[in-house]
Structure 1
Amino acid sequence: MRGDKHLLLDVNVIVDTWLGLGSEEITEKILDLSRADQVKLWLSASSIPTIEYVAKRSFKQRGVPPDEVQTLVSGLMTDLFQCVDILTNYGFDQKGIYSSAKDFEDAQIAASIRSLHGASVCIVSEDEEFDALGEVPVFNPAQALAWITSSDTAKGSIPFIDLAAQQHRILPNIEKNIATVLRHGQYIMGPEIKQLEEKLATYTGAQHCITVASGTEALLISLMALGIGPGVEVITPPFTFVATAEVIVLLGATPVFVDVEPDTCNIDPSKIKAAITDKTKAIIPVSLYGQPADMDEINAVAAKHGLPVIEDACQSFGATYKGRKSCNVSTVGCTSFFPSKPLGCYGDGGAIFTSDDALAQACREIRVHGQSKRYVHTRIGVGGRFDTIQAAVLLAKLEQFEWEIKQRIKIGAQYNQLMDQHGIQRVQQRPDRTGVFAQYTVLVDNRDELQKRLTEGVSSSSFTLPPSPLSIPTAVHYPIPLNEQPAYKTLCKGAETPVAAALAQRVISLPMHAYLATDQQIAISTTVAGAGVIK
């Protein structure tokens, strides 16, 4: 049974169930599946007054005393709202739909389900003539129950990151939060910014959270607050996204690259000491693929030399290191809210975390052009504010973030088991920390050929339905170490980094998100193993 199917209930299905008519026993089973979070049920907002009106009229016709009808129907509606969420009719194309509709009420219901882009959906109705405008299948309750319990794994492709499934789960809260911003109109530094910063600081345990325009801005502003500039050096790994080194160079400093561990792909703490000089002013370890680096070892080396440590936690928000949350395991922690991150908004965004009051104040001033108060510029700054609407999105996502992190850890562990069974080498997770699997990454020797096979589709017989070509999207994080990038070769220092160079030739990331089903994971691992190119 899969929890990624969505059913929109017609008025007659609800009222007949309350009256004990038709397929009420089957409908109750569907409602029970919703209570168990095994299927998602919806009502169109336009159906709610109709349900109330028809139910009241029907109970009166059955002889229920008028003074009891309101209480009865209100109680039934309250119970119903525990099982369903409400779909609005945003984007309702009145001219296009009304011009072709045979039944305007049906058309409105069909229009509301359009918002569930990319989902497996159906409308449940006892009306055999329901007009869904040819866009959505219409099932009676018995057909809907059979559809819920059927397997449809053998689709043409598996999404790399399923943002649609996440959005469908929290759509009402997202719409509510965004509508609130539209009403108050404070699009820059609105009240949602403060709400979000307080919640994020509490989550990590850091004293301060400063939201900013992106993960890159978070790193840049942190370095600026620490006084990093021309003539100094900053130690960081070469096996990461370019932003980590980019911000160092933008400030006129020199990135000093230290090689990474072959199993975790994170910076190797044992090699940091040799890279420290009298010009070294900071260390930026990266929590790659969602797993923190060995922060105690790094902090210990930094403390001996009086250096601040900035955790690049752009992939690891929600992870822990020895019981402490990522972003609160060093002087400063920086994260990204890019849409594909474990906690992502619907655009660019990021945040800085610290328990140092002076650093926090400096970061807050730098993000608004160095202002200590309006038009008083005490520092050199940037325009680095986080949008209020994006904060509203994250506030909605935070309500289920802990559940998603648990799912990511569970799915990551299932992946590990499957890969180990097939003999596929993978990035390792250390037992003293949790990773949030921002990517699920394996290591192969014939990467280009494997990517080609997976993208084109490999015939798989691992499904309950007949075999079909299964297209599996992949990504490479990252194909060229930063010290080999054309723009950075002459701007960086550091010894050779053979481990990073070797990893860059072998890493490949597979679909990973909190809504990845076990049967999809089995299909992915079986297809990768059966592609015939892994040595």
Structure 2
Amino acid sequence: MQFIDLAAQYQHLKQRIDKRIQTVLDHGNYIMGPEVEELEQKLAEYVGAKHCISCANGTDALQLAMMVLDIKPGDAVFCPTFTFFATAEVIAYAGATPVFVDSDARTFNICPQDLERRIQQVIAEGKLVPRAIVAVDLFGLPANYPELEKIAAKYQLKLIEDAAQGFGGEIEGKRAGSFGDIATTSFFPAKPLGCYGDGGAIFTNNDEYAALFRSYRVHGKGKDKYDNVRIGLNSRLDTIQAAILLEKLAEFPTELIARNKLAEYYTEQLSDSYTKPLVPESYLSSWAQYTIVSSNRDADMAKCKEKGIPTMVYYGTCMHQQTAFSGLSYTDNDFPVASRLAKQVFSLPMHPYMTEQTAELIAGLVNQSSQVVG
């Protein structure tokens, strides 16, 4: 049994993907070839953004956002503590200070109320300049952008959507990748839309930002790559990865339906002894992971392993608990919800090629595990 069955997806798309790769091998434009531009156009159209700029990976997408917004030492950038390390890493790499925010207990995403409280604290202290918010679409569910956009406007902050896990999610029909001033995503293989290596992309409606992104991703180029007008990165999406993503994007709407059907089945069948993920009204999740909360996580996961069910923990260590950020002097008491979630969440197998029989087997065995532990 696979946690994410990439092999099954490849077998389904094999002829189309192989043909795309062969086309790249035939024309030989391996870096920034025609498939890259084609993919950027189709991604922008899918998301509903004016510009899509591809790059080497999701972390670079976030780092490029820091560069375009000129985030620097003395700045405060607010982000969730319950997230993957890259979200906060790029803030620190820019020399700015990450200010961590607690989670919403039911959606697992950044809590707007705690966010505003921490913005007010930073303003009152007067040591840092509030500059931006990075919100994460955790496990596939878009963050609460209607509230986050109000807060960003109120305090004149830039809002960045980290849609690495949320690609395909929606709020009232508006797709992940289209919220805030800048959105980023990752094409890491395990993501809802993933390639066969590293890859990432940035979305924006701002023409000036888009031009800067295109320059920064190729060594800060001007009229060409040998005319360098600023200090940038080497962060380009390989043409072969773009070719693979074109076929995966074409299939993505169908896969999204299958992901949601599987999530609905899990929610219906799993024991109420688990806290199951909430999708608020008018929201759609892309279900990067199906994550449940258990007060007996370690024992539950051990029982699942005995029964051959792979499970994973995303994320067992919050940002405020990371050694790299120990100098910020946070404690678990500062983030009671996120600290609890880090000890209690675990994720079940989730992919669009799972059979009904396998889903039924997983739900039944996970329920048995809960009964044995409970």
What is the TM-score normalised by the length of structure 2? 0.95
- Cα RMSD, aligned residues only: 1.4
> What's the secondary structure of 2:52's corresponding residue?
strand
- Residue of structure 2 in register with 1:327 after alignment: 177
- Residue of structure 2 in register with 1:355 after alignment: 205
| 1:530 pairs with one of 355, 368, 372 | 368
Question: In the alignment, is residue 218 of structure 1 matched against residue 61 of structure 2?
Answer: yes
Task: Choose 1 or 2 for highest CA Rg.
Answer: 1
Asked if the contact 2:273/2:294 (under 8 Å) is kept, the reply is: no
Question: In the alignment, is residue 168 of structure 1 matched against residue 11 of structure 2?
Answer: yes
Question: In the alignment, is residue 415 of structure 1 matched against residue 266 of structure 2?
Answer: yes
The alpha-carbon distance between structure 1 residues 533 and 238, as it changes in their structure 2 partners (threshold 3 A), is farther
Asked if the contact 2:289/2:348 (under 8 Å) is kept, the reply is: yes
> In 1, Cα distance between the equivalents of 2:330 and 2:160?
19
Asked if the contact 1:445/1:534 (under 8 Å) is kept, the reply is: no
- Residue of structure 1 in register with 2:126 after alignment: none
| 2:75 pairs with one of 232, 250, 271 | 232
| 1:291 pairs with one of 121, 141, 163 | 141
Which residue identity is paired with 2:18? E
> In 2, Cα distance between the equivalents of 1:534 and 1:264?
25
Asked if the contact 1:256/1:492 (under 8 Å) is kept, the reply is: no
The alpha-carbon distance between structure 1 residues 368 and 181, as it changes in their structure 2 partners (threshold 3 A), is same
Question: In the alignment, is residue 387 of structure 1 matched against residue 232 of structure 2?
Answer: no
Asked if the contact 2:91/2:98 (under 8 Å) is kept, the reply is: yes
> In 1, Cα distance between the equivalents of 2:74 and 2:223?
31
| 1:243 pairs with one of 86, 96, 104 | 86
Question: In the alignment, is residue 509 of structure 1 matched against residue 347 of structure 2?
Answer: yes
- Residue of structure 2 in register with 1:107 after alignment: none
Query: What's the CA shift for 1:423?
Result: 3.7
Residue deviations 1:215-262 (CA, integer Å, cap 9, x gap): 101111011101001111100000000000010111111100010100
Asked if the contact 2:299/2:373 (under 8 Å) is kept, the reply is: no
> In 2, Cα distance between the equivalents of 1:197 and 1:367?
14
| 2:282 pairs with one of 432, 440, 447 | 432
What is the TM-score normalised by the length of structure 1? 0.67
> In 2, Cα distance between the equivalents of 1:501 and 1:533?
26
Q: How does 1:140-219 map onto structure 2 within 5 Å?
A: 158-219=1-62
Q: Where in structure 1 do 4 or more consecutive aligned residues deviate above 6 Å?
A: 492-495
> In 2, Cα distance between the equivalents of 1:417 and 1:437?
16
Which residue identity is paired with 1:268? C
> In 2, Cα distance between the equivalents of 1:301 and 1:504?
26
Structure 1: runs of 5 or more not aligned: 1-157, 458-470
Question: In the alignment, is residue 521 of structure 1 matched against residue 359 of structure 2?
Answer: yes
Q: How does 1:32-71 map onto structure 2 within 5 Å?
A: none
Asked if the contact 1:255/1:493 (under 8 Å) is kept, the reply is: no
> In 1, Cα distance between the equivalents of 2:19 and 2:132?
42
- Residue of structure 2 in register with 1:45 after alignment: none
- Residue of structure 2 in register with 1:478 after alignment: 315
Residue deviations 1:12-66 (CA, integer Å, cap 9, x gap): xxxxxxxxxxxxxxxxxxxxxxxxxxxxxxxxxxxxxxxxxxxxxxxxxxxxxxx
- Residue of structure 1 in register with 2:301 after alignment: 451
Aligned sequence identity (%): 45
- Residue of structure 2 in register with 1:257 after alignment: 100
- Residue of structure 2 in register with 1:489 after alignment: 326
Q: State the number of aligned residues.
A: 364
> In 2, Cα distance between the equivalents of 1:233 and 1:396?
40
Query: What's the CA shift for 1:405?
Result: 0.7
- Residue of structure 1 in register with 2:250 after alignment: 399
Which residue identity is paired with 1:506? Q
> What's the secondary structure of 1:373's corresponding residue?
coil
Query: What's the CA shift for 1:456?
Result: 2.5
